[in-house]
Amino acid sequence: MKPQNDRPHTRFHGRVADSDRPCAHPGCAEPGEFRAPPLEGAGAHDGPPRFRWFCLDHVRAFNAGYNYFDGMSADEIHQAQRPLAGWERETRAFSRTRMGDQGPRWADFSDPLDAIGAKYARTAPRAEGRALSGEDRRSLETLGLSLDADRNALRKRYSELVRRYHPDRNGGDRTHEAALRKVITAYQHLRRAPAFA
Protein backbone atom coordinates (compact mmCIF):
# COMPACT_ATOMS: atom_id res chain seq x y z
CA MET A 1 0.00 0.00 0.00
CA LYS A 2 1.25 3.48 -0.92
CA PRO A 3 2.20 5.62 2.10
CA GLN A 4 -0.17 8.50 2.81
CA ASN A 5 1.43 11.91 2.36
CA ASP A 6 -0.16 14.77 4.27
CA ARG A 7 0.95 17.23 1.53
CA PRO A 8 0.93 15.23 -1.72
CA HIS A 9 1.44 18.28 -3.95
CA THR A 10 4.16 20.14 -2.09
CA ARG A 11 5.50 21.68 -5.31
CA PHE A 12 2.12 23.38 -5.81
CA HIS A 13 2.70 25.27 -2.57
CA GLY A 14 6.08 26.52 -3.75
CA ARG A 15 8.16 24.09 -1.77
CA VAL A 16 10.70 21.92 -3.55
CA ALA A 17 11.21 19.27 -0.89
CA ASP A 18 14.27 17.07 -0.43
CA SER A 19 16.51 19.81 -1.72
CA ASP A 20 20.22 19.58 -1.06
CA ARG A 21 20.53 23.36 -1.52
CA PRO A 22 21.30 25.31 1.66
CA CYS A 23 19.27 28.40 2.57
CA ALA A 24 20.86 31.50 0.96
CA HIS A 25 20.43 33.58 4.10
CA PRO A 26 23.83 34.00 5.84
CA GLY A 27 24.24 31.71 8.82
CA CYS A 28 21.10 29.62 8.20
CA ALA A 29 21.60 25.83 8.21
CA GLU A 30 18.06 24.95 7.01
CA PRO A 31 17.56 23.51 3.48
CA GLY A 32 16.66 26.03 0.77
CA GLU A 33 13.28 24.70 -0.38
CA PHE A 34 11.70 27.95 -1.66
CA ARG A 35 12.82 29.85 -4.75
CA ALA A 36 13.22 33.64 -4.80
CA PRO A 37 14.19 36.00 -7.66
CA PRO A 38 17.90 36.21 -8.50
CA LEU A 39 20.14 38.93 -7.22
CA GLU A 40 20.30 42.12 -9.29
CA GLY A 41 22.71 41.63 -12.16
CA ALA A 42 22.57 37.82 -11.84
CA GLY A 43 20.75 37.59 -15.18
CA ALA A 44 23.68 39.10 -17.09
CA HIS A 45 25.08 35.66 -17.90
CA ASP A 46 24.05 33.24 -20.61
CA GLY A 47 21.48 30.65 -19.59
CA PRO A 48 18.58 30.59 -17.18
CA PRO A 49 18.55 32.97 -14.18
CA ARG A 50 20.22 31.75 -11.01
CA PHE A 51 17.51 31.84 -8.39
CA ARG A 52 18.11 32.19 -4.68
CA TRP A 53 16.80 29.43 -2.43
CA PHE A 54 15.57 30.08 1.11
CA CYS A 55 14.06 28.16 3.98
CA LEU A 56 10.42 28.90 4.84
CA ASP A 57 11.16 31.58 7.46
CA HIS A 58 13.64 33.43 5.28
CA VAL A 59 11.53 33.30 2.10
CA ARG A 60 8.66 34.79 4.13
CA ALA A 61 10.97 37.58 5.29
CA PHE A 62 12.16 38.12 1.72
CA ASN A 63 8.58 38.30 0.39
CA ALA A 64 7.54 40.73 3.14
CA GLY A 65 10.35 43.10 2.15
CA TYR A 66 10.09 42.69 -1.62
CA ASN A 67 9.10 45.87 -3.48
CA TYR A 68 8.36 45.53 -7.19
CA PHE A 69 8.67 49.30 -7.67
CA ASP A 70 12.01 49.61 -5.90
CA GLY A 71 14.40 51.69 -8.02
CA MET A 72 11.68 53.07 -10.34
CA SER A 73 11.04 56.75 -10.83
CA ALA A 74 7.61 58.24 -10.11
CA ASP A 75 6.81 58.32 -13.85
CA GLU A 76 7.81 54.65 -14.27
CA ILE A 77 5.62 53.66 -11.32
CA HIS A 78 2.71 55.63 -12.79
CA GLN A 79 3.15 53.92 -16.18
CA ALA A 80 3.24 50.46 -14.55
CA GLN A 81 0.12 51.14 -12.45
CA ARG A 82 -2.15 52.83 -14.97
CA PRO A 83 -5.22 50.81 -16.00
CA LEU A 84 -4.20 50.25 -19.62
CA ALA A 85 -0.61 49.19 -18.98
CA GLY A 86 0.29 46.46 -21.44
CA TRP A 87 -2.72 47.02 -23.73
CA GLU A 88 -0.92 49.24 -26.24
CA ARG A 89 0.16 46.25 -28.32
CA GLU A 90 -2.21 44.54 -30.76
CA THR A 91 -3.39 41.09 -29.80
CA ARG A 92 -1.79 38.25 -31.71
CA ALA A 93 -4.88 37.59 -33.85
CA PHE A 94 -4.87 41.21 -35.05
CA SER A 95 -1.12 41.61 -35.29
CA ARG A 96 0.31 42.68 -38.64
CA THR A 97 3.61 40.94 -37.93
CA ARG A 98 2.45 37.34 -38.33
CA MET A 99 4.53 35.46 -40.88
CA GLY A 100 3.15 35.91 -44.39
CA ASP A 101 -0.26 37.05 -43.15
CA GLN A 102 -1.55 40.49 -42.38
CA GLY A 103 -4.20 38.98 -40.11
CA PRO A 104 -7.72 40.35 -39.83
CA ARG A 105 -8.07 44.09 -39.40
CA TRP A 106 -10.96 46.02 -37.90
CA ALA A 107 -11.27 47.81 -41.23
CA ASP A 108 -12.27 44.46 -42.78
CA PHE A 109 -15.49 44.51 -40.75
CA SER A 110 -18.34 46.96 -40.85
CA ASP A 111 -19.13 46.24 -37.20
CA PRO A 112 -16.71 44.79 -34.60
CA LEU A 113 -19.50 42.65 -33.12
CA ASP A 114 -20.01 41.00 -36.48
CA ALA A 115 -16.29 40.21 -36.45
CA ILE A 116 -16.59 38.52 -33.09
CA GLY A 117 -19.83 36.72 -33.92
CA ALA A 118 -18.39 35.39 -37.15
CA LYS A 119 -15.18 34.25 -35.41
CA TYR A 120 -13.10 36.63 -37.49
CA ALA A 121 -14.68 35.61 -40.78
CA ARG A 122 -13.99 38.52 -43.09
CA THR A 123 -16.89 40.15 -44.84
CA ALA A 124 -16.34 40.07 -48.57
CA PRO A 125 -16.51 43.54 -50.10
CA ARG A 126 -19.21 44.07 -52.69
CA ALA A 127 -18.51 45.29 -56.21
CA GLU A 128 -18.65 48.88 -54.96
CA GLY A 129 -16.10 48.03 -52.27
CA ARG A 130 -18.56 48.26 -49.35
CA ALA A 131 -18.82 45.28 -46.99
CA LEU A 132 -22.05 43.68 -45.77
CA SER A 133 -22.77 43.41 -42.07
CA GLY A 134 -24.40 40.35 -40.51
CA GLU A 135 -27.72 42.20 -40.33
CA ASP A 136 -27.39 43.08 -44.05
CA ARG A 137 -26.92 39.40 -44.88
CA ARG A 138 -29.92 38.33 -42.81
CA SER A 139 -32.08 40.98 -44.45
CA LEU A 140 -31.00 39.88 -47.93
CA GLU A 141 -31.85 36.31 -46.98
CA THR A 142 -35.31 37.42 -45.81
CA LEU A 143 -35.89 39.04 -49.20
CA GLY A 144 -34.47 36.03 -51.04
CA LEU A 145 -31.69 38.05 -52.68
CA SER A 146 -28.08 37.08 -53.33
CA LEU A 147 -25.19 38.87 -51.60
CA ASP A 148 -24.30 40.74 -54.80
CA ALA A 149 -27.76 42.32 -55.21
CA ASP A 150 -27.75 46.04 -55.96
CA ARG A 151 -30.14 48.80 -54.93
CA ASN A 152 -32.24 48.35 -58.09
CA ALA A 153 -32.69 44.60 -57.46
CA LEU A 154 -33.58 45.42 -53.86
CA ARG A 155 -36.41 47.78 -54.83
CA LYS A 156 -37.73 45.35 -57.46
CA ARG A 157 -37.79 42.41 -55.06
CA TYR A 158 -39.41 44.48 -52.31
CA SER A 159 -42.24 45.55 -54.63
CA GLU A 160 -42.76 41.95 -55.73
CA LEU A 161 -42.97 40.60 -52.17
CA VAL A 162 -45.26 43.39 -50.93
CA ARG A 163 -47.68 42.62 -53.79
CA ARG A 164 -47.49 38.91 -52.92
CA TYR A 165 -48.11 39.28 -49.14
CA HIS A 166 -50.29 42.41 -48.82
CA PRO A 167 -53.92 41.62 -47.84
CA ASP A 168 -55.29 44.11 -50.43
CA ARG A 169 -53.72 41.99 -53.20
CA ASN A 170 -54.91 38.71 -51.68
CA GLY A 171 -58.62 39.37 -51.32
CA GLY A 172 -58.26 40.47 -47.67
CA ASP A 173 -56.31 37.32 -46.63
CA ARG A 174 -54.28 38.29 -43.54
CA THR A 175 -52.40 35.00 -43.11
CA HIS A 176 -49.22 36.50 -44.64
CA GLU A 177 -48.98 39.55 -42.36
CA ALA A 178 -45.99 38.18 -40.39
CA ALA A 179 -44.08 37.55 -43.62
CA LEU A 180 -45.02 41.04 -44.86
CA ARG A 181 -43.70 42.63 -41.64
CA LYS A 182 -40.38 40.76 -42.04
CA VAL A 183 -40.08 41.93 -45.66
CA ILE A 184 -40.78 45.56 -44.73
CA THR A 185 -38.29 45.46 -41.81
CA ALA A 186 -35.59 43.90 -44.01
CA TYR A 187 -36.12 46.44 -46.78
CA GLN A 188 -36.11 49.40 -44.36
CA HIS A 189 -32.81 48.17 -42.94
CA LEU A 190 -31.16 47.59 -46.32
CA ARG A 191 -32.22 50.88 -47.93
CA ARG A 192 -30.38 52.72 -45.11
CA ALA A 193 -27.42 50.32 -44.96
CA PRO A 194 -24.00 51.72 -46.02
CA ALA A 195 -23.56 48.81 -48.45
CA PHE A 196 -26.55 50.07 -50.46
CA ALA A 197 -25.91 53.81 -50.15
Residues 6+ apart with CB under 8 A from 176: 164, 165, 166, 167, 170
Contact 127, 148 (CB under 8 A): yes
Handedness of CA 108, 114, 120, 124 (dihedral sign): negative
pTM: 0.38
Q: What is the pLDDT along the chain (197 residues), one digit of tens a residue?
A: 455 555 555 555 678 877 788 999 999 989 988 888 877 655 555 666 678 889 989 999 988 888 878 888 988 888 878 776 666 665 655 555 544 555 555 555 565 555 555 544 445 556 566 778 888 889 999 999 888 888 888 999 998 998 888 888 777 778 888 888 999 999 999 888 888 77
H/E segment holding residue 58: helix 56-65
Q: What is the pLDDT of residue 120?
A: 46
pLDDT score recorded for residue 44: 52
pLDDT at 187: 92
- Spatial neighbors of 30 by CB under 8 A, at least 6 apart, are 22, 23, 55, 56, 57, 58
Give the integer Cα–Cα distance in Å for 181 and 169. Answer: 15
* Cα–Cα distance measured from residue 59 to residue 51, given in angstroms and rounded to the nearest whole number: 12
Q: Which of 156, 118, 161, 116 has its CA nearest to residue 137?
A: 118
State how far the Cα of 157 lies from the Cα of 179, in Å rounded to an integer.
14
Determine the pLDDT at residue 99: 45
114, 133 in Cβ contact below 8 A? yes
